Structure 1
């Protein structure tokens, strides 16, 4: 059955859904590959330039490789483009031996003349950390994930030892450095391609028509419609079974569930929790779940006059009924959050003194602070479901009702997505409903990019909170080689968060993914990103 015919049937069978239109997808997509459903329209295809979304979560793993990968179980770094590495005794020098025989993708607009080597690694990281690099200011010159990690201050130099050896020199020891090199943001670009587009006067092409060494190459991008990736025949780990992958990002016509049920899409990531019973009852689809390293939280703008008072922040925390959120939004699939770290983190503080639901105490604290039924706040809410929050609008409405019950009036402002780089008016962003999916298994990956002073200076700390004692504990934890000391420092850092309440952890979500039963080899990761290099289609 053609894609067009299936869509017509979907429009007839799902009469409540309106606005169906003719898809622009080729009729043979399903015979050559598969369609991935999502509604995130990328602004770039270079994950270095963003801090989340479809590019970072899914596209990057198809187009690019990194020096290292992370074991999904142990969370320890594994070889990838770097086949081995050594670390100096003082923890300041990391030397990587690179894999040989790795081919870059060949496209209509670029034909590589050489294989991957150390020049590409130096280029990829120098662009981020060197203000004088010719590509540093291209495409806006912001590198949010790296900025929030303080990478420019951490890495003193990146240099090529020989064509297959590269060395990183650090300004201080950092226990999370290897894990950070395995994140979806630490991708490797082609220096040869960069030089070509720079000579042509089109440096932005590096980010909008990317070239990597991954299993699929970029082919076409039609904004608000679709993204097409083609198989990379010379992929160093072996050619992927699928000839192409199409990302359906159309916002017109039917919703993602309707597209899935009518087989317009083969894969749907992060279905809304209320859709799970419908999906589970359909034998054509397989629903899989992954316990995620994630957290949904309410960021409080600590620079707003009313919210500088810790009593007000604690009152807001006491007012929110997390159990109600779990029942009404997560349908029992999530877990209540007491910390920004998920319980599966080795640094999670099981003796946390986090505040519990207590509306009476919330009323008392508000009265003490002088805000007895006269506090009005604005809550910014993204509409896009995420693994840590399957229904943001509903979450916001429940929080609104909880706060109204203790005399706090909340105005909800929605937008498609709210990222740390969103333009949010400082006079109108009291609360932001957001969350985080870990890029690796190190606790530093939650604490530093979200709440450090570096992240605030970079404009990426949504809570606008900076505590030097908290930062000092993170610094001590990154330097020590003794695990029990690291654990103690992270517990102390969490104690500060419990006392100061710069953010309010809400829940840890389960990441669901559904796919047509004919697809095999789809993997999930606790870090949200996964490669499609092993996906193949069996019998329908």
Structure 2
């Protein structure tokens, strides 16, 4: 006999996400008018629902240091000059069909593809295709303080600031309608890889000029126009983001008509939404959920070894943590094997370095400190903190590929430190944005992590630990070491791989000695989707395009 209550409950679960889509036009903020209700009742045959993690504050990844905008949305709305091969990690052509580099390594000239169409929306109808003016505009906005758009939307470009991009770029020159040259102040081996990251998007200069005349400059970042496979159709904060298919996409229109991001936090959790078919795709499920998912024939679980790291940043501005003995003691007190077993369920790798083992610059002979609570106790006693040290740790609760359960990780670290006499207070927040440090300025420790934007080791070391990154706000350890920075500069200038490796090994030796951060683990990125979906891609850098996703039933 059918259980009526159970049927009602299942029906409610199935309909709730889609009901929110139908009611979206009554929300606080809608970019365009809602579609007719009967059109949305059949959404699963024309698109799919993706369970997101956070509500974006902008749709322009240039203004962010990660999160949903840079990790996922940017690859749908925008294109870059280059993309990264997911296997070799080498730059490949995208909007730029080819490029040349001068003998001195200071000039990079890009030839753009022709016939690239910008998206057409309710708020903008392009009159021309992409050309070199759009490339010049997109990057000069970042590097020129007097540019009319430089200070718009806060005027901070954290990822580019951490790379010292404004000091690296001497000029960007329009050669002709489809040729542009970047002139650098010094050679930089990571330059091409950096242009392939999700932050290096190409905007529409024509759209920007229209907004400038109307005096609505902020719309450039909140109502974006790009050349990607989908355009932004609707946004309701804390509820949903709807993307629609860009029919004029240069690589061919996407099979799916729309993608809806469920970013609501009310009601059931993301796993329950997946199981009840409110969501079709769930990125970064918690490790403890994997057995439930893998036992269900309706879903397919994908795994990608990630270029990532979970770590504790030690606030080197705090008087207690200026003492290297205290920093080393904290490192020695943490049982990483316990973390791998209890948080990652055997799916992660113990971190000896901020670089993952798959990096070509990883130092396999690292002398990094390992678990030794007895030595930690001795160091604390030597520093005068024998069972009298109280510290505060700020924790973002948002699960990420590098840390599937931050709350549990924090509690285990708390227990480890308590065992050596350090009393640790934990402060939680749902999500972490490095540029907004008002809530963490007084914290001693910060539990966080990093997903690489490309395969170059510079992408870990410079944005997280350089002096430039400290000024930009991404270096949350507030650590600056001139010798470390000099090694990064030397590595970026030489074309000899063995020399680059040696410089990066020496830089890692400094980190092992100074302990500004404590690497914990490298995680595996999991993604689960309904078995009817095909064409979903994964990348070691966390970015993914939905341009090839289709539904088979």
Give the TM interval when normalised to the shorter protein.
over 0.9
Match for residue 24 of structure 1 among 4, 21, 24: 21
Change (3 A) 1:194 1:305: same
Distance 1:6 1:83 in 2: 56
CA displacement, residues 496-533 of structure 1 (integer Å, 9 cap, x when unaligned) = 00000000000000000000000000010000001000
Cross-structure match for 2:529: 515
Match for residue 115 of structure 1 among 129, 133, 140: 129
* 3-state secondary structure, aligned to 2:474: coil
Distance 1:481 1:52 in 2: 29
Cross-structure match for 1:361: 375
Match for residue 449 of structure 1 among 443, 453, 463: 463
Cross-structure match for 2:419: 405
Cross-structure match for 1:394: 408
Any residues of structure 2 matched to 1:428-507 within 5 Å, and which? 428-507=442-521
Residues 1:196 and 2:193 are matched in the alignment: no
Distance 1:139 1:13 in 2: 38
Residues 1:288 and 2:285 are matched in the alignment: no
Distance 1:195 1:13 in 2: 45
Distance 2:264 2:299 in 1: 22
CA displacement, residues 253-309 of structure 1 (integer Å, 9 cap, x when unaligned) = 111111100111000000011110100111000000000000000000011100001
Cross-structure match for 2:113: 99
Deviation (angstroms), 1:459: 2.3
Change (3 A) 1:8 1:528: farther
Match for residue 153 of structure 2 among 124, 139, 159: 139
Deviation (angstroms), 1:13: 8.5
* 3-state secondary structure, aligned to 1:23: helix
CA displacement, residues 144-200 of structure 1 (integer Å, 9 cap, x when unaligned) = 000000000000111110000000000000000000000000000000000111111
Cross-structure match for 2:278: 264
Contact 1:363 1:372 in 2 (8 A): yes
Residues 1:129 and 2:143 are matched in the alignment: yes
Cross-structure match for 1:54: 68
Gaps of 5+ in 2: 23-39
CA displacement, residues 380-404 of structure 1 (integer Å, 9 cap, x when unaligned) = 0001100000000000000000001
Change (3 A) 1:198 1:526: same
Cross-structure match for 1:306: 320
Q: What TM-score do you get using the length of structure 1 for normalisation?
A: 0.96
Gaps of 5+ in 1: none
Residue-pair matches, total = 531
Cross-structure match for 1:383: 397
Residues 1:9 and 2:6 are matched in the alignment: no
Any residues of structure 2 matched to 1:205-224 within 5 Å, and which? 205-224=219-238
Distance 2:145 2:392 in 1: 37
Cross-structure match for 2:34: none
Distance 1:476 1:89 in 2: 18
Contact 2:18 2:41 in 1 (8 A): no
Q: Once superposed, what is the RMSD of the aligned Cα atoms? A: 1.6
Change (3 A) 1:257 1:226: same
Distance 1:201 1:254 in 2: 42
Distance 1:437 1:82 in 2: 25
Deviation (angstroms), 1:460: 2.0
Distance 1:520 1:426 in 2: 41
Match for residue 328 of structure 1 among 321, 339, 342: 342
Deviation (angstroms), 1:21: 11
Deviation (angstroms), 1:423: 2.5
Q: What TM-score do you get using the length of structure 2 for normalisation?
A: 0.94
Deviation (angstroms), 1:6: 11
Distance 2:374 2:247 in 1: 64
Range that drifts further, 261-270 or 5-14: 5-14
Change (3 A) 1:105 1:355: same
Deviation (angstroms), 1:440: 0.1
Cross-structure match for 1:36: 50
Residues 1:373 and 2:387 are matched in the alignment: yes
Contact 2:340 2:521 in 1 (8 A): yes
